[in-house]
Structure formats: C-alpha cells, structure tokens
Amino acid sequence: VWNNCLQVIKENIGEQSFKTWFEPIKPVSLRDSVLTIQVPSQFFYEWLEEHYVQLLKKVIYQELGSEGRLEYSIIVDRGNDGNKPQTVNIPTKRIPAAVVNSYKPEQSFIKSPFESKTIDRNFLNSQLNPAYTFENYIEGDCNRLARSAGYAVANKPGTTSFNPLMIYGGVGLGKTHLVQAIGNNIKNSNPEKFVLYVSSEKFVNQFIESVKTNNVQDFANFYLLVDILIIDDVQFLSGKDKTQEMFFHIFNHLHQSGKQIVMTSDCPPRDLKGLEERLLSRFKWGLTADLQSPDFETRMAIIQKKMQGDGIDIPDNVVEYLAYSVDTNVRELEGVLISLIAQSSLNRKEIDLELAKQALKHIIEDVETEVNLDFIQKTVAEYFQVSLDSLKAKTRKKEIVTARQVAMYFAKEFTSHSLKSIGYHFGGRDHSTVIHSVQTVSDLIDTDKKFKASIQELQKKFKTKAG
Ligand code: ADP
Ligand code: MG
C-alpha cells in the first residue's frame, strides 16, 4: 500500500522533495485501515504535516477509502546518558495531531475545504481515538449514570433530552474516554455524520489563530458543519470571553438544528468560575452527570480488563493488592500497571505480589509527606495511648474502640481512601463499620465538649502536616 502511495506522491512533487521527505519513511504496519509509518524525527513529522497534509490525505483516501488513516511512529534520539542513541517508538496516541487529516486552523480545514463550496466530508477528521470504546469502559457505581446517559446519546444523538450532555469529574476518572466512546460509537453506526472531538484548549487556540489571520468566519462555518460536537474540559474556556461568545453562538446554532453537543468539565457547572451565566444556563438544558472515583470492585474489573487486553496474566491476589492500594483515579492505576509490566519484563520475572509491592514503592514513598493512613493511625494511637496494632485488632475494649473510630474518622476526612479501603486497612473491617465509626465520632463531637477539643487538637496536627 505504501508503495502505491509513494508512486502517487512522486508524480505530484519535485524529485528533491521526494528524496528528502518521503524516501526515509518506513512503512510499519497496516491494520484496520490505519497505515502506520515511521519517520526519523519529530521535526520530520511536523514538516510532513505542515507541507504535505493535503497530498497525504488524498493518497490515503485513494488507497484505503474514507476509513483510511495514517499514523506516525517517531524515532526519538535519547543519547543523553552517554550511551549510543536509543530509538524509541512513540505511539501516535500520545501525539494528538498525528493523524493525517487533522486540521490546522490556518491550513487544511479553514482554507482549502472552504474555498470549494462542496466540502468532502471524508476529509474531515473526527479527532477520535478508536481505542476509546464503550466495550472497554468498565461500568461501576462510580460512573453508571454518566455511562448510560452517554450510551443513550450515542444511540440517538440529538434526539434525547440529554442535549447537551455534560460529564464532569476529577482528573483521570474517565471523562475523555467516555466522550470519545460516544463519538466512536456514533461514527461507526452513522458514518455520514460529522462527529468532531475537540479539547477546549484547542478550540481556544484555533479561535485566537483565526482572529489573527482574519478567518473568524471560516472558523465559525467549520463548527457549524458539525453534527456531533464533543468539547472536552470546558473549564478551560473560563476567562476567555471572546472565545466563549463564539462558543455560545455555535452552541445555539447546533442545538437549534438538533445537533448533539457533549461536554466535559473538571467540576460541576455551578462551580465553573469565569464562565458566562448565559453559557452556564445553556449547559443546564440537558443532562449533567458526574464521575466518581472508582470503588474497589470497579478498580478490580479495570485492572483485569486492562491486563486481559494486553494479554498478560496476573494473579488474583495481585489484582486485589493493586485495587486496594491505588484508589485515587484510573489514570494512576494504569500508570502502576504499566510500571509493573515494565518491571516484570525488565527483570524477566512473573508478576507476583512481591513485584507489585516493588512497583508501588515509589508511589507510596511519594505520599509519605502527606497525611496518609499510616500517619493517621500512628498519630491517633499515640494520642490515645493505645498500640498501633490494637487499631487493627479485634479488641472491643472501650478506649481502643474510640481510638479506632477516631482514626477512621480522620482517614475519611484527610485521605482519598474509599470506605471499603479504610475498612481494609483497619484489620479488614467492612465499609458499614467505617460509616458507623464516622457517624459515632460526629455525634460525639456535637455532644461532648471535651471530646470535641481532642478532635480539634488532632485535626490541627493533620492540617499542619497537610499544609
Ligand atoms: P479524564 O479525561 O477524566 O482525565 P481519561 O478519560 O483520560 O480521564 O481516563 C484516564 C485513563 O483511565 C484512560 O486511559 C482511560 O481509558 C482509563 N479509564 C477511565 N475510566 C475507565 C473505565 N471506567 N474503564 C476503563 N478504563 C477507564
Ligand atoms: Mg480528559
């Protein structure tokens, strides 16, 4: 396929350019209409994107049809340790612009497609990463509403009352994955629809660029073509008044024409500071759904799914250990899995509990300066003059029970551990015990002045440590 492409390219550009820019390219693979080529450097890749994007689009379209895509793998020179340079393939996934029919405001999408009044939609790229699907988006209590709303929208874009659909949640909880899954799903079942994924940051930059180059009208026209607009991380629009105004018009137009709008944000709309009221009120027209930190079972399922996907066997006790230890967000969990896989292959060792503990060591050290469970348990045990072990033991002695309950109370307040995980770290108690403890302590604070003072004293220690 690549040879055919080269043939066409050769006919279209000068010999010198061909030698310089196309001969060094190595075809790597062709899978599901995605042709991957290897280029010698980042600069090389940028040059191709800048100067030959239209030509590349054309040949890919000729060879692979409208589904055809091109991805780059870039060789990175990392000769900084004195050894001979290493080559590393960067998966294109990490380079968002690496898909050929990506648009650059000043080039491909604004000028060329718009000069001709008939726009070939096959050349419009959705900017979607096909790796994000519903199939590999694990469902759990933490994401049930958001996921099913997303699924409904994917099946009936623009016609449900979930328009706009706004997904919010903290970093690494799966916002981008979910909205991309919506986009991919729609695109697969409605190839004629123009789905566009754009980060708010990119939207802002494109807009600024279009102002600079006097292309604002083209910018707007382009967005008005979209059937399903997915705009990620809208908190980034805050304070950018001119861009917001443009977005407001695009939003209104699309919404009125029954086009679907999907948005994400890192906080609920009411907390989006620096966003115009009229825009915020639009967000409320549809459905707002949040993503929570994944609970223990969901984390287990995510680990299992990821490992399965990579064809890696991992013992159940390791899955459990990881799910208990990493309970912040999915991205962090994935990071741990990657470093675990790396260590296993570097040391040529099977993945077991020992290796998992090693892989987690640096993360656990990282949080040493924070108020973590260990610190809370130690501090509380000391304060109540009971032993650390007794907090985790079965004893029902009154002073130990109190100390244990207080420690759980602070664990809930100062760490991001789930109730389940807190219970686990207190000798394998279940989450209802933790709830009960937190409740008991809260009640005591309200009724017992002396107790309240002790709690405040402890609280001060943790607050100082937390900074
Ligand atoms: P956000 O956009 O909220 O910061 P991402 O969507 O980028 O988070 O998710 C971070 C990583 O976690 C991604 O690799 C994503 O695939 C993965 N992930 C998040 N939620 C889930 C889930 N429910 N099931 C499987 N993978 C998930
Ligand atoms: Mg994201």
**Same domain? 152 vs 285:** yes
Domain boundary among 310, 342, 369: 369
**Same domain? 257 vs 390:** no
Q: What is the CATH number of the domain that holds 315?
A: 1.10.8.60
As for how many domains the chain has, the answer is 4
Domain membership flag for residue 401: yes
pLDDT tens column, 144-166: 999 999 999 999 999 888 999 99
**Same domain? 158 vs 255:** yes
**Same domain? 378 vs 351:** no
pLDDT tens column, 210-231: 999 988 888 888 898 899 999 9
| Residue 174 labelled as part of a binding site | yes
**Same domain? 159 vs 221:** yes
Domain membership flag for residue 253: yes
Domain boundary among 318, 348, 369: 369
pLDDT at residue 231, rounded to an integer: 97
Q: What is the CATH number of the domain that holds 405?
A: 1.10.1750.10
pLDDT at residue 15, rounded to an integer: 75
Considering only residues 393 and 120, tell me which one the structure prediction assigns the higher pLDDT. 393
CB proximity list for 280: less than 8 A, separation 6 or greater = 269, 270, 272
pLDDT at residue 409, rounded to an integer: 96
What does pLDDT average to over the chain?
84
Q: What is the CATH number of the domain that holds 62?
A: 3.30.300.180
Best mutation site among 234, 328, 331 for ligand 1 pocket (most ligand atoms within 8 Å of CB): 331
- Percentage of residues of the chain with pLDDT beyond 70: 87
Which residue's alpha carbon is nearest to atom 14 within ligand 1? 331
pLDDT at residue 84, rounded to an integer: 38
**Same domain? 388 vs 354:** no
The rounded Å distance from CA 379 to ligand 2 centre is: 37
Which residue's alpha carbon is nearest to atom 9 within ligand 1? 174
Domain membership flag for residue 341: yes
Domain membership flag for residue 214: yes
442: helix, strand or coil: helix
Q: Count of alpha carbons within 13 Å of 418, Cβ hemisphere only?
A: 21
**Same domain? 335 vs 380:** no
**Same domain? 223 vs 171:** yes
Considering only residues 457 and 18, tell me which one the structure prediction assigns the higher pLDDT. 457
> What residue numbers bound the domain in which 425 lies?
373-466
Domain membership flag for residue 310: yes
pLDDT at residue 68, rounded to an integer: 82
| Residue 309 labelled as part of a binding site | no
* Residue 421 banded pLDDT, cuts 50, 70, 90: confident
Token pair 């292959």 is found at 345
Q: Mean pLDDT over residues 52-79, rounded?
A: 77
Considering every ligand atom shown, identify the ligand nearest to the alpha carbon of residue 232 and give its number.
2
pLDDT tens column, 172-205: 999 999 999 999 999 999 988 999 999 999 999 9
Q: Are 152 and 286 in contact (CB under 8 A)?
A: no
**Same domain? 451 vs 378:** yes
Long-range contacts of 21-30 (CB under 8 A, 24+ apart): 21/47, 21/48, 21/51, 21/52, 27/1, 27/2, 28/73, 30/1
Q: What is the dihedral of CA 103, 40, 69, 52, to 10 degrees?
A: 50
Domain membership flag for residue 384: yes
The rounded Å distance from CA 12 to ligand 1 centre is: 42
Which residue type is seen at 41?
Answer: S
**Is residue 296's pLDDT more than 50?**
yes
- Tell whether ligand 1 has an atom less than 6 A from the beta carbon of residue 142: no
**Same domain? 157 vs 261:** yes
Most confident of 41-55, 165-179, 316-330: 165-179
**Same domain? 156 vs 262:** yes
- Tell whether ligand 1 has an atom less than 6 A from the beta carbon of residue 8: no
pLDDT at residue 262, rounded to an integer: 98
| Residue 175 labelled as part of a binding site | yes
Best mutation site among 177, 234, 265 for ligand 1 pocket (most ligand atoms within 8 Å of CB): 177
- Tell whether ligand 1 has an atom less than 6 A from the beta carbon of residue 147: no
**Same domain? 265 vs 201:** yes
Measured from the Cα of 169, ligand 1's closest atom is: 3
pLDDT tens column, 98-145: 333 333 322 233 333 333 333 455 557 889 999 999 999 999 999 999
261: helix, strand or coil: strand
Q: Mean pLDDT over residues 302-330, rounded?
A: 89
**What is the secondary structure of 77-108 as a DSSP string?**
E-GGGSSPPPEEEEPGGG-GGGSTT---TTTT
pLDDT at residue 309, rounded to an integer: 84
Q: Are 227 and 195 in contact (CB under 8 A)?
A: yes
pLDDT at residue 79, rounded to an integer: 38
pLDDT at residue 467, rounded to an integer: 65
Domain boundary among 369, 393, 419: 369
Domain membership flag for residue 115: no
Domain membership flag for residue 110: no
In order of 114, 123, 139, 347, 460, the CA distances from 106 in angstroms are 11, 16, 40, 49, 55
- Tell whether ligand 1 has an atom less than 6 A from the beta carbon of residue 278: no
pLDDT at residue 363, rounded to an integer: 67
pLDDT at residue 215, rounded to an integer: 86
- Tell whether ligand 1 has an atom less than 6 A from the beta carbon of residue 198: no
